[in-house]
Structure 1
């Protein structure tokens, strides 16, 4: 470094302070100055990668972290793990994600987070035995018992129990789960995983009361850990604001022409209502590319257009066309095959909040609304270890019922606004009469019947939702009507649904 030249380390330290203060633009500028002064400054490349990721530019983030690795960044195993997460979760480049995880383990064979992520990636790709091998290694290799992240071994036990559930009430796996639960702190995240795994194992054995107790304990652990996040008044106010911001469109108002290939098809509804199953079925059609849970629209609404929906009201036609083009460019980068497809599915259940915005950006878009019996749907949410940042209502039966009522209120508004472009797809019909239901969906989308849709469970594509093992099985109706077995435990859910005016069919 020549005399008078800026000190790259000092610039990076200053960038860190700006970043912590929430000034990402200033932080990025300082990092770039540091890199001009020291182009092989690995820690600056790592910092730049972080800023890119926070801006949603995960391709640039992965590239920057790759440069950091080439420059000899500290803790390279952690850098490989971070690149793997971006490749898998944000860029849909699973082969590269696996290579990064294997590189992390080659550098540090006892790096348990990389091994657990590798197991999870194998699960998402439908590679059961490979996933189980990762979890067995985590449990059996004595090196993992002493690493700082050793608590993750409990998660490995929980995932093993979900993938190979106990076969009998005296299965040693049940005892192992209970022992592990007692050995963990009441609000530890691994305890939550274990409690839900125990619940699912007991449910499979028909031990309803014990299973519900395990799910309730898991949700209480989450509540202790995360705190109550759901605000019924805020949710109702948001739905009121969305309805006011997106009234029934004026048919005389011209809409921009977005009728280009592929036609975006948005699958939304309530979480645990069959949206993953429906998308997996449709992905068997040769003219459909399944996009899974694409986060572009939620990021647009709740970051760039915050506060939503107030700022969305003022979008002009030029803004609309620009944003629609950005979305198409984003999905084409993620899914190059979509350029030649007739349909691209974007499956985000919580996009039910954004149907008005979707139809503003894409007037020709089709909406598939997955619907499930309210009691079954609510129970399924309660039985699943959900991410409370996405579903803050999920650990309380009363909150689930309230949220369900608000969601159905908003969907009724969209049905009135876009009757020809929105199709309800009942979960019960899909699992009981798949061919008739799928034919109806394909007809709605303008696609011909293809029997490969019903062979969805044979595909080994990546599924990045909590349903990734359910959709590896042929269609089954086991979960339809399950709420009746649990009804005596579901009073708060039933009361909240009734207060919201939700119809409860076939209650007896």
Structure 2
């Protein structure tokens, strides 16, 4: 492809605006980023990038680009107004301070500068009322009824006003809120949609509709309405609270914390926000932050079973196993019938390898009438069930119910899959699995195009990578062993082998390096740079920040393993930031690997590509392209280990693995199944057994159903010929 030149900018700009208008913001941003490198002094480029980010509900990113636009066009009022709106929506004190400093040097009149400064600090929680159909007093009377909990009366009066006065965005929203509180959700949804048809920019209607859809579990439908509402009324508590919950439910805890921080800044004692943020911090394994929110909740009210259970998770995460056991016991005593408490307690036991105790706890819950798909799934996956086990009959009877919600059917399906596989009924196993995966794929769609764009952008960013820099930059005092690969490829097994060495502490999936690295990459890329422009100080800072996080998570550990799956996507950044770290990449026959992913339920929001055969094939193809690129860049820096070779000749392969990791031989590494440590992944049962080959070739049982996957894999790297 010929290099771009400045003469192409008008055509590219029009194309980018067309993409943005046609609902393709990511493509528009990618094109504008290319233009920014060609024409770094043209203010309209970062201005429109900022506007696109604002439309998508990302005020932090928007403020970065709009700050650049303001620097390039310091006298343009339109730019400053957009920048002020982004700063106000972001709500970050440091960003506000920096924006005010820029404003002082702006080429604006005193009156305009004052107006912009005021706009930067605006706390917009509601939309200005512009309806002409009803008076302010009538609206306030309706709102008073809603706030007082008189929903039936509010619904009747709002309905009468709509009938006599005609359509109104405000009346329809209030009517919808009353209907929702009365449980008439279909009518409520229609009311909110009618309000938005009258005024698409009525923030309260978008917020209420997003909240209703979220409460019904329709996360993907709720998201655009909540993001739209945040753009319109960025400090509205309903918007921030529901966006925080949405992000947490979808497996985006960092974004959840950002929203909930903004809400709790306004309302520090908001219990639901504190609870959700504590859960987000636990997902991020920020034990201290989670404990702080849970302690705050206990100061506001007596602890509940759920807060005690979450506190137990935080204590365990912080290394206080005894405290965790004491607290989970207290949680079960406080609320023995809470599904959340029961599943947290059972999960902790399963992680510790106490399968019989977990099974007893879950079955006891069933006898008390606490039933859910999650409990049945955990029982089925905890141990092998006999065909005549009463629990199996209960699961099959429950599956036949027409009123079984999607979430429950999904969990039940994965549980019944395991039962049918254990009894050798593979046709029935496929029946349950295909239905469960169909539900998951529909409720949590995967963005395949984004994964490809991310790879392409990273490859472009790595242009100019110099392997001679490895070892001359970065943080030298870290020897982490990263174990990476696709899920279900053997990463947990290899980490268990390494963690059985006397000098190694198993860290599990820490998920620390990726966000640190990509924050630095994003900053360099926004400024038009590549990896060659990342400074020694920047690279060392990434490594030091990683080590600091490890010191908090695993205090006193001499050397650790980090089994974060996504490490295979950022290998060159780890080489530069942590030059003495090692990367071990697992390879497995993709037919077995992809089948194993396809048949397992992962944590909501993670590995969304595992629920359709076509998404799995594309993910595997990208995985091989990542590894091929790393081999080309620095072939001696990543160790590829084949799962099948490890199973066939364990001592030979373990010796080679330890040699690469610069570890002395220890017999314990072959007796890894005797190592006593918590395992948090789906492989928690397998790593407590010696190596076995029975997992090889299991895809063949379902070959008749896997045609799409098998055809898609043909010709890809690493696919056997047989």
Which TM-score applies when normalising by structure 1?
0.83
Match of 2:324 among 97, 107, 116: 97
Specify the SS of the correspondent of 1:394. Answer: helix
| Corresponding position of 1:239 | 455
Q: Is the contact made by 2:479 and 2:581 (CA closer than 8 Å) also made in structure 1?
A: yes
Find the aligned partners of 1:206 and 1:155 in 2 and give their Cα distance.
23
| Residue 230 in structure 1 maps to residue 230 in structure 2 | no
Match of 1:80 among 300, 303, 308: 308
Match of 1:119 among 339, 343, 346: 346
**CA 1:454–1:425: 2 relative to 1, 3 Å:** same
| Corresponding position of 2:423 | 205
TM-aligned CA deviation for residue 317 of structure 1? 1.9
| Residue 324 in structure 1 maps to residue 513 in structure 2 | no
**CA 1:66–1:429: 2 relative to 1, 3 Å:** same
Find the aligned partners of 1:85 and 1:196 in 2 and give their Cα distance.
25
| Residue 159 in structure 1 maps to residue 378 in structure 2 | yes
Matches within 5 A, 1:449-464: 449-464=665-680
Query: Per-residue CA shift, 1:105-149, capped at 9, x if unaligned?
Result: 2323332311221011100111112111211211112xxx2xxxx
Match of 1:491 among 686, 699, 707: 707
Query: Per-residue CA shift, 1:226-283, capped at 9, x if unaligned?
Result: 3x2232x3222211222222247324447325332x4011111111100001001111
| Corresponding position of 2:164 | none
| Residue 505 in structure 1 maps to residue 720 in structure 2 | yes
TM-aligned CA deviation for residue 166 of structure 1? 3.1
Q: For the aligned residues, what is the CA RMSD?
A: 3.2
**CA 1:296–1:95: 2 relative to 1, 3 Å:** farther
Matches within 5 A, 1:242-391: 242-247=458-463, 249-253=465-469, 255-256=472-473, 258-260=475-477, 262-301=478-517, 313=531, 315-338=534-557, 341=558, 343-387=559-603, 389-391=605-607
Match of 2:435 among 194, 207, 217: 217
TM-aligned CA deviation for residue 19 of structure 1? 4.5
Match of 1:190 among 396, 401, 408: 408
Q: Is the contact made by 2:353 and 2:685 (CA closer than 8 Å) also made in structure 1?
A: yes
Query: Per-residue CA shift, 1:365-419, capped at 9, x if unaligned?
Result: 2110011001111100111112352211111011101110011111111122221
Specify the SS of the correspondent of 1:443. Answer: helix
Unmatched tracts of structure 2, length 5 or more: 1-234, 244-257
Q: Which has the larger radius of gyration?
A: 2
Find the aligned partners of 1:44 and 1:161 in 2 and give their Cα distance.
32
Match of 2:613 among 369, 391, 397: 397
Find the aligned partners of 1:384 and 1:127 in 2 and give their Cα distance.
21
TM-aligned CA deviation for residue 30 of structure 1? 4.6
Specify the SS of the correspondent of 2:377. Answer: helix
TM-aligned CA deviation for residue 469 of structure 1? 0.8
Find the aligned partners of 2:396 and 2:523 in 1 and give their Cα distance.
45
Query: Per-residue CA shift, 1:63-99, capped at 9, x if unaligned?
Result: 42353355252553332233234344x5454443333
Find the aligned partners of 1:309 and 1:132 in 2 and give their Cα distance.
50
Specify the SS of the correspondent of 1:126. Answer: coil
Find the aligned partners of 2:273 and 2:413 in 1 and give their Cα distance.
40
Q: Is the contact made by 1:382 and 1:395 (CA closer than 8 Å) also made in structure 2?
A: yes
Q: Is the contact made by 2:349 and 2:355 (CA closer than 8 Å) also made in structure 1?
A: yes
- Number of aligned residue pairs: give it: 470
| Corresponding position of 2:627 | 411
Find the aligned partners of 2:333 and 2:594 in 1 and give their Cα distance.
43
| Corresponding position of 1:175 | 393
| Corresponding position of 1:6 | none
Find the aligned partners of 2:576 and 2:270 in 1 and give their Cα distance.
44
**CA 1:162–1:174: 2 relative to 1, 3 Å:** same
Specify the SS of the correspondent of 2:671. Answer: helix
Q: Is the contact made by 1:116 and 1:134 (CA closer than 8 Å) also made in structure 2?
A: no
Q: Is the contact made by 1:78 and 1:104 (CA closer than 8 Å) also made in structure 2?
A: yes
**CA 1:320–1:187: 2 relative to 1, 3 Å:** farther
Unmatched tracts of structure 1, length 5 or more: 1-13, 35-40
TM-aligned CA deviation for residue 29 of structure 1? 4.7
Specify the SS of the correspondent of 2:329. Answer: helix
TM-aligned CA deviation for residue 421 of structure 1? 1.8
Q: Is the contact made by 2:507 and 2:563 (CA closer than 8 Å) also made in structure 1?
A: yes
**CA 1:390–1:92: 2 relative to 1, 3 Å:** farther
Which TM-score applies when normalising by structure 2?
0.60
Specify the SS of the correspondent of 1:71. Answer: helix
Match of 1:61 among 283, 289, 295: 289
Greater helix fraction, Structure 1 or Structure 2: 2
Find the aligned partners of 2:645 and 2:403 in 1 and give their Cα distance.
43
Specify the SS of the correspondent of 2:331. Answer: helix
**CA 1:210–1:362: 2 relative to 1, 3 Å:** same
Q: Is the contact made by 2:483 and 2:491 (CA closer than 8 Å) also made in structure 1?
A: yes
Q: Please, which moves more after superposition, 305-314 or 240-249? A: 305-314
Q: Is the contact made by 1:276 and 1:465 (CA closer than 8 Å) also made in structure 2?
A: yes
| Residue 130 in structure 1 maps to residue 347 in structure 2 | no
Q: Please, which moves more after superposition, 415-424 or 76-85? A: 76-85
Q: Is the contact made by 2:355 and 2:383 (CA closer than 8 Å) also made in structure 1?
A: no
Q: Is the contact made by 2:309 and 2:345 (CA closer than 8 Å) also made in structure 1?
A: no
**CA 1:104–1:455: 2 relative to 1, 3 Å:** same
Query: Per-residue CA shift, 1:15-56, capped at 9, x if unaligned?
Result: 95695486666555556xx6xxxxxx7959947965993995
